[in-house]
Chains A and B, each alone.
Chain A
Amino acid sequence: MQELKVEALVKQYPGRDKVIAVNNVDIEVQAGEMLVLLGPSGCGKTTLLRCVAGLEDAQQGKITLEGKAVFDASIQFNQPTHLRDIGMVFQNYSLWPHMTVQRNVEYPLRARGVAASERDKRVKDVLEVVQCGHLTDRLPAMLSGGQQQRIALARALAPKPKIMLLDEPLSNLDALLRVELRAHLRAIHREVGFTGIYVTHDQIEAFNLGTRVAVMRAGKIEQLGTAREVYDRPATEYVAKFLGIRNVLALNSEGGWMSDAGRLEGDLGILSALKGPLQMYVRPNAVHMSVGSEAAPSGGSFSLGGGRVVDALYSGGEIDYVLDVGGQTLYVSTHSAKTAFNPGDAVRINFAHRDALIYSNDKLVSG
């Protein structure tokens, strides 16, 4: 069953430049699912979330929560936020500074008229879930950033809302704490089984936490799929670039396949059905290097010769190579246990067909 349905939503901010922050967005969130909105800064993630919360007035579209419309532009209906039964975690937590942790967390329960005995139990339980049972009497000012984040999460979870809205809840924390809380959040999601929308611009967070991931671009949904789908098959070049796939080859089919890094060699059979120009994206860790004098492998791979190692960066168990291939800069990362190359070495690069993401007119055509 769908918990949340957003249809053809348009939100334009007033002002001189009339930014269309959300542009004709459709999404559905299934019960128990965590949908991650992923995208660069300014693409409209927060705005979309705030529309769902009822904190913004959209111009067009419809939002349905558990089958009931909460927003419908066609009949000018916008249900006030407090009647929507949502839970929200803000980027800066927004714990009320004049209330103790206990008061903060029980606030949504009081607002919903939950009886006192039931309330205490729920607060206790939910604080247990976020591992903050010992903090009940503190004021927010006496909490660390990570603790504030957990309390904010507890406050949103306490009333068991229809949907949880989380806006970059981890972005104000330092790297280590972020990893820890990410794992914790994932566990809580499994345990409590809430339905949620999670906004982030961090792809690791997105793939870790998301049942499904929606990649946003300038107010639109560019791709929506399971974490696996989005990772393996970025639907457009924009998604591929946003996911950090750094090696890009522009291919032309004039007498064989020429790329801007030289002639493409190897097994070109799968390209025969395609017409140029094409864009080929390859992840650095999918590229293999061999000594420059070796011939191109025969089956299942593409290959480019004439490469030269410009730089080799050792980072822990990996080596990141920067290559110059026919004037084009390409990147390779390998396990450091493999044969090492040195700057100046002549190399050939090979990558499997299944690792090449080929786009024609910004559409994924490979695989």
Chain B
Amino acid sequence: MRRQVAPQIGWLLIVIVVGFAVVWPIVQLQYRAFIDGGSAFTRMGELPRIGDTVRTTVILAFLSSALAVLVGTFLAWCASLLPRRVQKFGELAPLLPLIVPAVAAVTGWIFLLSPKVGYLNMMLRQLPLLSGLEEGPFDIYTVKWIVLITGMLLSSFVYVFVHTGLKNMGQELEAAAAACGASPVRILLTVTLPLLRPSIIFAAGVVFLLGMGQFTAPLLLGRTSRIDVLTTEMFHLTLRYPIDYGLGAALGFPILIAGFIVVMLQKLALGEQRRYVVVSARSKYDARTTRWWAAGVIGVYLLITTVLPLLALTYVSLSPFWSGSLVMTELTTRHWKSVLDNPVLVNAVWTSIKTSVIAIAILIPLGFGMAFALLQSTRIFKPIRMAIDFLATLPMAVPASLMGFGLLFAYTRPPIQIYGTAAVLVVTYITLMIGHATRLQFTTLVATGQEFLEASKACGGGALRSLLQILLPLCRKGIGATAALTFVLLFHEFSASLMVRSARTQVIGSVMYDVWTGGVYSEVAVLALIMVLVTVIGVMIAVWIGGSESLKKI
């Protein structure tokens, strides 16, 4: 439309800039995999144990996501059975694992289940039947445990979606089926599960992608017994010089393809609008049956995923060294002091905070603009809206580790040679989170209702007035919560940070890895706990701004 051409240019610019940031590194990287007649794939085939690596990647993706879907759905069902007195806390409890960064959780589990000196293993060996063992009975450095731990880490995500689905459904539909004479089993099969199908499919797709791109658990747990997945192979490449980007691209190629297929399947299975699961609070649970054992299940889950690893971390951080024995008398704050006195480590924490905050300051308005554009059916050209939709979805299909590898490639050479500066971290964070920031704010905008905006236009309010006086005040909570939650996710960021860090630009996740490789486990524990503490503060701010519902948006 003639009048509309001018504003389109602004949107087009956003698409070009964001598109460049998100798509270009991947395209450029993948190009390297295919030049020279695909010799990179030949080199990939020649990697030692490449067969095992691919197999582990596939196993990890399928089994951990299957486990996550089962556990998460079961938890959501348990949460719907919670007695009223514990309901409020019980519904939030399965989200608490999200507060513990994956690195911290995995480290905690190593302290518990390391075959020789893991605390749980030591305790189990006290039992009469197992007393003959030298080590074990569990060995966390195996594919089995990598799958189990990854599955547990991912189950919280499934819980978020399925629980929200159950809540939004309310109790009335089930009550209506019961009034029609349906038995509980029939209700479950004919009403509850079909209605939850979109939530479950969506969640399954999300965790499958996360499982396939999983980096943290395989990296930390696989090293001892030389277990690798495609993303850890990619990371090993970055440690050598010169970096074989072609090979890295070849390693990332299968992940990229699988990611696209999953996102496509999700689209097909869910239709257009359902990809954005709208979170809205509706509590109609009243005449429901409640079970106390449900609280027990959630309690056990919380204990396993959060309490035990945190206890282990705390204990190790206060012990002189990690020996496996539990001696309370020798506790010391030495490691806390040494971490806080170490300028490299403190700097890394500050860099994490600073780069995250700068990234968020750019992400929030950018994501808001993109979310807003997605909602405009009349004023913005369809191709532009489709491009924005694509850019908001793409980062979901590309694991952070692969994205990090691509960004490392893109920013170590002209035209934008920013490797080695803090800017590369900011750009990386923006690239990783732009989809997230867009989708969360889209949810907020949808929940706010298009009509308030239309009412403003009908009253003669122009774009700026509508934005400042209507949209922003109404979305303030959602935007604030998005900012706080994005901060948490960035502070947890490990995979991409590890790829793009340099000696001069370290963040908390990357220095933690160095300390870990150096074997100073007590300091690893301290850093992990600092991560948790800062996260808790971030979440508290989010809850303070956006109410407890915002916790579920993670």
B-binding residues in A (CB < 8 A): 53-57, 75-83, 85-88, 90, 92, 94-98, 107-108, 110-112, 155-156, 159, 165
Contact = CB atoms under 8 A, between A and B. Distances in A.
Given A56-B378, A90-B454, A77 B462 contact: no
B335 to A, nearest CB: 49
Contact of B461 (A78, A82, A85, A165): A82
A330 B132 CA distance: 95
B interface secondary structure, majority = helix
Given A55-B457, A94-B454, A111 B378 contact: no
Interface string B443-482: 0000001011011111111110110011001100000000
A94 B453 CA distance: 9
Nearest to A55: B454
B459 A111 contact: yes
A111 B455 contact: no
Contact of B460 (A92, A159, A165): A159
A88 B466 CA distance: 16
Contacts of A107: 456, 459, 461, 469
Given A76-B2, A90-B451, 19 more contacts: A55-B457, A55-B458, A57-B377, A57-B378, A78-B1, A80-B457, A80-B462, A81-B454, A82-B460, A82-B461, A82-B466, A86-B458, A92-B451, A96-B456, A96-B474, A98-B473, A107-B469, A110-B465, A155-B459
Contacts, number: 87
18 contacts: A53-B454, A55-B458, A78-B1, A78-B4, A78-B378, A79-B3, A80-B462, A82-B461, A82-B462, A88-B455, A90-B451, A94-B451, A95-B455, A96-B456, A107-B459, A107-B469, A111-B461, A165-B458
B451 A85 contact: no
Contact of B3 (A80, A112, A165): A80
Contacts of A83: 460, 462
A94 B460 contact: no
Contacts of A159: 459-460
Contacts of B454: 53, 55, 81, 88, 90, 94
A92 B466 CA distance: 19
Interface string B367-386: 00000000001110000000
Interface of B: 1-4, 377-379, 449, 451-452, 454-463, 465-466, 469-470, 473-474
B270 to A, nearest CB: 15
A41 B118 CA distance: 68
Give the 9 A-B residue pairs with the shortest CB-CB distance, closest first.
Answer: A88-B458, A108-B459, A81-B457, A111-B460, A94-B455, A94-B451, A57-B378, A111-B461, A76-B1
Contacts of B462: 80, 82-83, 111
A207 to B, nearest CB: 27
Contact of A82 (B1, B2, B457): B457
B92 to A, nearest CB: 26
B455 A96 contact: yes
Contacts of A95: 455
Nearest to A110: B465
A90 B460 CA distance: 15
Nearest to B378: A57
B460 to A, nearest CB: 4
Nearest to A58: B378
A78 B378 CA distance: 10
B1 A77 contact: yes
The residue among A75, A107, A112, A165 with the most chain B CB atoms within 10 A of its own CB is A107
Contacts of A87: 458-459
A111 B469 CA distance: 11
A53 B458 contact: yes
Nearest to B466: A82
B246 to A, nearest CB: 43
